Each structure stands twice: as structure tokens, then as C-alpha cells.
Amino acid sequence: MDETRMRRYLEDHLAGADTAIAIASRLARGNPGSAIARAMGPMEGSMRAERAIVAEALERLSPERVAEQAERLAHHALRGESWDKAVTYLRRAGLRAMGRGANREAVSHLEQALGTLRRLPMTRETSELTIDIHFDLRNAFRPLGDLARMGDHLHEAEGLARALGDQHRLARTATFMVIQCLDTGDYNEAVRCGQEALSIARTLGDRSIEVIATSFLGQTHVARSEFSDAASFLEQNVALEGDLRYERFGAPIIQSALSGAWLADVLSQIGRFDQAIGHAEAAVRIAEAADHPFTLYVGLFDLGLAHLRRGDLPRATRALERGLDLCRTWQIALGTPVVAATLGAAYALAGRADEALPLVAGAVAGTFFDAVAVVTFGGILAANALLATLVCWWWPGLNASGWKLWLTASLANPLVLAGAAWSAVQYECFTGEKTGWNCMFDDLGPFAAGMGLLPPLLSVATRWLVRRGPI
């Protein structure tokens, strides 16, 4: 029997057995004391053993195709309660999904791997694997722009790495914290984390960590407008040769292309457009050769930006339109609003204001809001309005004076109290001690408190109009 027929036979056999077990389970639940119910335990145990054996047999039949079959193998290993194999296959399935840009699918596989890993005894080996899967999840959330989840996984990884005294993984945590700090506007902390990671990497002789730390330090200096320092870091990775030019080094993006794209950004800002465009085009070629959408989006964005700064609007528009299509196709939430806003600027400069305005408005809306958030916030407002009404009905009574009614309703509103408390805790944003993207979210505190004041205010106004009668 050839390999294909053998694989089909094994899976058909298991599918038939699954159906039989499902029917028997249904009958056993209807007749708890029956012979079928008594037989279910041994039957299910036998099926678990068969699943584990089949998963191993499928792996042996075509070891060169394990990566392609990882999802199917994970399914059999989970059903067979072969937890260590299931973790391995689920992680491979997640990494494979991430490699082709299917980041939500990757998150699903990797979170399942992390949950399955908790079923295994906590040894140093499983702790190390737990850290690595936290890193994988951080990388999967990056294109989705989920900073909070990225931070959660980094902090979990850091705690485990410190407990193990694992310098390699501590250095990797420090490299990823550079981007986390950049995203929140804490540039000084980003530099500190990057230098720490680079120092550990050079001490340990870990090339992969050194490459990532070099990229991220380069980007930090770009953000601080220290272009000379940025170029010196980024040029080191642009010079990578051979297979290393296509390596991600444990990050979600190809590092030589990323450094090339950022170097293009630096050079275009100081007017060296030919060199900038050359580096951006090289980054695009690397991403296309590797068929890696996330890397390609970065290359196209910086290529379009370089043309835009030069004033070459047709070329800028072509690159940015392709980049926006890519972001929408692959659901790259991190890049969609940025590319859309830049393309909107190109359209506006080209006299295409009717096309520019919807893009820019959509980019702003996509950054701050989504449909789920709007519906959720609306539901919260309605619930708080109802609660405020019930409180006022009880005391001071709906016939009380308007100011007393409104004040009571406002103080009874959890949204107002939560917004006020959040504003008090995050006082640094209002005193100017803290700046950056973090404050964008911290400013939602007074916004929420203000919105919470509206329902009782509208209720009081409505009551006043009703009492006043027709004009």
C-alpha cells in the first residue's frame, strides 16, 4: 500500500471509530446503567491510544511533510492525549500560519499550544518552551496591532526567564521591549532596553539577538531624529548576505529588509532620495522572494514615502496603493491606518481631494474606533442611564429639583466614577510628565466621565421641557 492510500486508510479508520464512539456516548447518556455505559471508559481509552499511534504513524510516513500536516497531526495528538506531541504540532502549525501572514490563525494555534503545555510537568525544558511560545504569540499579535496582548506575553516571558536565569531569553525579551517602548513613546527606555539586549547578545555570542537588537536600536534613533546613529545601526543589517538576508531571527519580519526600509526612511528625510529608493526597492524584492506579506507591506510603505517626499506622486501612489491592498488582504491592522493616511496625503497633493478625504477619515476611525467598541460603549451608556434613573427614583425621587436629580444620577453612574478614578491614576498625562501613544488611551478617562454625565443631563432637560409644556 502506497503512502497516500495508507494515510487515507488510517484517517478513514479513525473517522469511523469517532462516529461509533459518538453514537455510543449518546446511548450511554440515555441509559447510565447499561452495558454500553459500562463499556465506554475502556472504549474511549482505546481510542486515545489509537489516536496517539496514528499521529506517530502519519509522521513516520512522510517526515518531510510534517510542517504541512502539523494541524492535522495536532488534532490526532490532542484526541489521543499525547500532550507533548500536540504542543509541538500546534506550535509548528502556528509558525507556519504566521509565515504566510495568517496571523489570527497563528494566534489560535499558539494559544492552544500554550494551554496544552500547562498539562505537562513544569520542568526547565517546558518553562523554556513556554517562554518561546509567549514570544511567538507576541510576534503574531504585532501585525494585528494588539499592543496590550503583546505586552502581556512579554511580561510573562520576562518573569519566567528571570526565574530560570536564562540570559538568552532575557535578551530576547529586552529586544522586543524596545518596540513596546517605542509604541508607547518612551524613547529613553527603548534605548536602554536595546543597549541591554545588544550587550547581552555580544557577551553570549548570540547573532540572532544581536541582529534584532541592532534593527530596533536603529528604529529608536530614527524616532529620536538621530539619523547618523540610526544609519550606522541599520547599515549593519542591510549588509547581511546569503540566506541571512531572508532570516527573521525569531521576529515577525525579515530583518535585513526591515533595516533597509527604515534606512530608506532615514535617507529620504535628509534628501538622499536615490539611495533611499534603492534600499526600499531592495527591501521589497527580498519580501517578494520570501513571499512574506508583513515584510512586503513595510517595504512598500517606505518606498512610497520616499517617492512622496521627493515629490514623485505617481510612483508614490502606486507603491502606497499596493501596500494598502496588501494590508487589507492580509488584515495587517498595524499598517492599514498608517498606509491609508499617507496615501490620502499623496492623493491630496495630486489634487484628488475627493479620494483623499475618505481615506484619511477612515484611517483616523480605524485607529481609534471599531464597530465592536462603538456597540459596547453604547450598551454601557444605556445600562448606566438605566441605573442612574433607578437610583434617582429611589432617592431623591423623580420630582426632586433638577440640579439635585442630575447630581445624584451622575454620582450613581459607574462610568463617571470609573472615568474620574482612571484620570486620577493617570495624572502624569495631564501634568505633562508622560507623553506618547499611552496618553491617547489615558485621555479616554475624562472622555468616559464626560459621556457618563450626558444621560442624566438629557433626562433632566427632557423632564424640564415636559413640565414647561407647550411654548
Q: Return d(Cα 303, Cα 461) in angstroms, integer.
A: 55
**Residue pLDDT, tens place only, 256-274:** 999 999 999 999 999 999 9
What is d(CA 394, CA 349) in angstroms, rounded to the nearest whole number? Answer: 60
Mean pLDDT of the chain: 80
Does 24 have pLDDT greater than 50?
A: no
In this structure, of 34-43, 216-225, 298-307, the range with the lowest mean pLDDT score is: 34-43
Task: Determine, yes or no, domain membership for 437.
Answer: yes
Q: Please list, in sequence order, all residues whose beta carbon lies within 8 angstroms of the beta carbon of residue 79, skipping any fewer than 6 positions away.
A: 47, 48, 51
C-alpha gyration radius of the chain: 28
**CB of 195 closer than 8 Å to CB of 217:** yes
- Structural domain contains residue 52: no
Q: Poorest-confidence range of 92-106, 152-166, 217-231, 366-380?
A: 366-380
Domain of residue 396 covers 372-468
Q: Which residue has the cell 536565569?
A: 165
Per-residue pLDDT at 443 exceeds 70: no
Beta-carbon contacts of residue 112 (< 8 Å; ≥ 6 apart): 74, 90
384-387 long-range contacts (CB < 8 A, ≥24 apart) are 384/413, 384/414, 384/415, 384/416, 384/452, 384/455, 385/455, 385/456, 385/459, 387/412, 387/413, 387/414
Task: Compute the average pLDDT of residues 77-91.
Answer: 87
pLDDT surpasses 60 at 409: yes
169-224, pLDDT tens digit by residue? 999 999 999 999 988 888 999 999 999 999 999 999 999 999 999 999 999 999 99
Closest-CA residue to 206 (of 239, 175, 159, 168): 168
Mean pLDDT of 120-137: 95
Specify if 129 maps to a domain.
no
| Most confident by average pLDDT, 37-46, 53-62, 64-73, 226-235 | 226-235
For the record, the C-alpha cell of 349 comes out as 497633493
Give the per-residue pLDDT at 61: 47
- Cβ pair 100, 331 in contact under 8 A: no
Asked, for residue 377, whether it belongs to a domain, the answer is yes
The answer, yes or no, to whether residue 33 has pLDDT greater than 80, is no
Q: Do 412 and 395 touch, CB atoms closer than 8 A?
A: no
Between 147 and 322, the more confident residue is: 322
Instruction: Report how far residue 267's alpha carbon sits from residue 257's, in angstroms, rounded to the nearest whole number.
Output: 15
In a domain, 432, yes or no: yes
| pLDDT score at 381 | 66
pLDDT for 22: 46
The count of structural domains within the chain is 1
CA-nearest of 139, 154, 224, 135 to 186 is: 224
The rounded percent of the chain whose pLDDT value lies above 90 is 48
For residue 170, the model assigns a pLDDT of: 92
Within a domain: residue 44?
A: no
Distance CA 1, CA 320 (A): 53
pLDDT at 121 over 60: yes
- C-alpha angle 439/445/448, rounded to 5°? 135
Checking if the pLDDT of 157 tops 60, the result is yes
| Predicted pLDDT of residue 38 | 45
